[in-house]
Amino acid sequence: MNDERPSILFVCVHNAGRSQMAAGFARELGGERVQVLSAGSEPADRINPVAVEAMAEVGIDITGTQPRVLAVDDVRASDVVITMGCGDACPVFPGKRYEDWELTDPAGRPLEQVRPIRDEIRGRVEALLEGLRG
């Protein structure tokens, strides 16, 4: 991207749960310090309503987001690319920082099973943001 803030791209298959929750936490906790993108290799039609509910419980509204397809330019523009179960669908560019977060897919799971996934994502995002502080 075109400014000095580090940019983070969160990618999962459907861009409806894990990556949306991670992006929500990064926007909330990182504020103006970071740029945040999220995308999916095979985006769903809509955000997982249980993920929306789980995030609302911690005061983060992700209802205004929409699953979107991963574009090569998203990866090119990002400093850090976090993948979550999308395998080789994410293009690799030299000089980028890549991390693969092994997280349970919240799709089709009830709220009580999504909460621990949400909490794990929050912890990983907090550690990521702390590591970006220069």
Could you tell me the two tokens for 121?
């994502």
Q: 9, 90, 103, 117: which one is catalytic?
A: 90
Catalytic residue among 86, 114, 121, 128: 86
At 112, list the tokens.
Answer: 């009580």
Give the three-state DSSP class for 134.
coil
Q: Is 12 a catalytic residue?
A: yes
86 belongs to the catalytic site: yes
The active-site residue out of 9, 12, 34, 129 is: 12
83 burial type by CB count under 10 A (0-12 exposed, 13-18 middle, 19+ buried): buried
39 phi and psi, to 5 degrees?
Answer: -160, 170
Question: Would the CA dihedral through 6, 87, 109, 39 be positive or negative?
Answer: positive
Residue 62 corresponds to which tokens in the numbers above? 């992700």
Integer Cα distance of 72 and 127 in angstroms? 26
List residues with catalytic annotation: 12, 86, 90
